[in-house]
Structure 1
């Protein structure tokens, strides 16, 4: 069988067949009377064997060794090929991610593309100062992909860089919420804390349902960030968690202020006062907890808190009674004459 027919049957070009011959991988068994290469069925089978091994990723040198060395075992080489292929796929996935990030920025020219790539390189720096500078120097006229910022803030442990990223995410608005919501489903508590802080800084309406879901998180810090953000937006579902913040002494001053704002609505004030009263009456509540709850009452509207403060001014706990009396006097002085 001549080389042209072998090329047609095998799908290997005549040029490549000659290359295989020059490397000693396959040699035509004979020659015609005219001096042309003549291949046998055995030669063609060897060509197919070469192509099969190349399809696995073996180099031509490795193919030759595999075909000629009787002691050659494939296990080690195949294991290496698996590792090399996995590494190549990882590199290609990284490249694909970068391309998608650039595409999401809807660049209008190569200048925009280069600025997005500079931002990605900056965010990948091991130096926190470089990462922070990359975020803060992102051009105002370039749309930074929210997915890029969201992924960066979920992984960022440096507080200054994280603050810069939250600032950038707040500018991105509702487009960033989906990426951050994924972080709130993470099994890693630090990731969820970073996510909720970032969502809390986004004013868009899309943030509200995500923060509401976070009220049920197993971590008290995540619940607290969500409750403070929701309460500041007037969402009354945050009330139980806000009261718990006061009880636990976690951001209790901020929680009391938010509760006071919510209590300006008479329909909500009753719910808040009932919750605070219930915690004050809790037998297991110690003096420190009851003092914090009493202090929270001063943030309530005068009409809502005065009766309870009057009761507490005669409390058996002398410290609670003194604090309540002082606050009672304070709110009376605030009343218009």
Structure 2
């Protein structure tokens, strides 16, 4: 076998090695010397790779290849039934930053039942949203206020804050929602948007007090 073919086989085998350090080195090698023949394998590994650091290296390696080659394959992954395939493809698309992927960031993905997929979709959306469509995106994101645990809520708040002032009217509307969790999350996000140095924990605790006082006042 020619030397080039031997190197290719070594890299492909390395990406599937049982040792995470070997897989990491193989992904590093592909990113260091990009070659379109490896893109399919990189995308395939993103869907199943168990190690966080290796997944990050796989994403980096994909960003080193032409977006015209990687983006269509990553968009295809967004329809996968495997949650990691969707999540990692979204993460990689956000890093590539090619806005041609924007139409693939659907409401279905932004409201995905899996928190990690949804969070990845939020980050991808804010990175890819075309100028003029921020308000519509903020409206979809606002439907997720109150969702999940603290980490998920913080991710959503950060995404809305990145959108800036266009999110304000939508947050103000959510502050009157019937669900106290939605009201709390909206208030906390609005506080952070106005004062980024406040910190999420402080903002959410303040929001809880505001909602509790409002409820008490209404009952009184």
Is this a same-fold pair by TM over 0.5?
A: yes
Deviation at 1:139, TM superposition (A): 6.5
Distance 2:154 2:190 in 1: 11
2:91 maps to which of 197, 201, 204: 197
Deviation at 1:134, TM superposition (A): 0.9
1:257 aligns with 2:164: no
Alpha carbons of structure 1 residues 281 and 151: separation in structure 2 relative to 1, 3 Å? same
1:247 aligns with 2:146: yes
CA RMSD of aligned residues (A): 3.1
Deviation at 1:301, TM superposition (A): 5.8
Alignment partner, residue 48 of structure 2: 155
Alpha carbons of structure 1 residues 278 and 128: separation in structure 2 relative to 1, 3 Å? same
Alpha carbons of structure 1 residues 285 and 155: separation in structure 2 relative to 1, 3 Å? same
Distance 1:116 1:132 in 2: 16
State the Cα deviation string for residues 122-179 of structure 1 (Å, max 9, x = none): 0121222211111113373452432221112112122121111011112224221222
Distance 1:294 1:183 in 2: 35
Matches within 5 A, 1:311-330: 315=210, 317-318=212-213
Kept in 1, the 8 Å contact 2:75–2:104? The answer is yes
Distance 2:25 2:9 in 1: 14
Which ranges in structure 1 are unaligned for 5 or more consecutive residues? 1-109, 303-311, 321-337
Distance 1:156 1:243 in 2: 32
Alignment partner, residue 182 of structure 1: 76
Matches within 5 A, 1:269-284: 269=166, 272-284=167-179
Distance 2:214 2:5 in 1: 64
Alignment partner, residue 24 of structure 2: 132
Distance 1:240 1:250 in 2: 21
Alpha carbons of structure 1 residues 156 and 319: separation in structure 2 relative to 1, 3 Å? farther
Distance 1:250 1:241 in 2: 19
Q: Which has the higher helix share?
A: 2
Deviates more, 1:113-122 or 1:232-241: 232-241
Deviation at 1:198, TM superposition (A): 2.4
TM-score, length-scaled by structure 2 = 0.71
Kept in 2, the 8 Å contact 1:200–1:229? The answer is yes
Distance 2:153 2:117 in 1: 15
Distance 2:55 2:151 in 1: 21
Distance 1:285 1:139 in 2: 47
Alpha carbons of structure 1 residues 315 and 125: separation in structure 2 relative to 1, 3 Å? closer
Kept in 2, the 8 Å contact 1:243–1:275? The answer is yes
Which ranges in structure 2 are unaligned for 5 or more consecutive residues? 196-206, 216-220
Deviation at 1:231, TM superposition (A): 1.5
Distance 2:213 2:185 in 1: 14
Kept in 1, the 8 Å contact 2:31–2:64? The answer is no
- Larger RCO: 1 or 2 (CA < 8 Å, sep 6+): 2
1:223 aligns with 2:118: yes
Distance 1:253 1:294 in 2: 13
TM-score, length-scaled by structure 1 = 0.49
Q: Over alpha carbons, which structure has the higher Rg?
A: 1
How many residues of Structure 1 are paired with residues of Structure 2 in the alignment? Answer: 193
Matches within 5 A, 1:19-168: 110-138=2-30, 140-144=32-36, 145-168=38-61
Distance 1:139 1:182 in 2: 21
Distance 1:187 1:162 in 2: 19
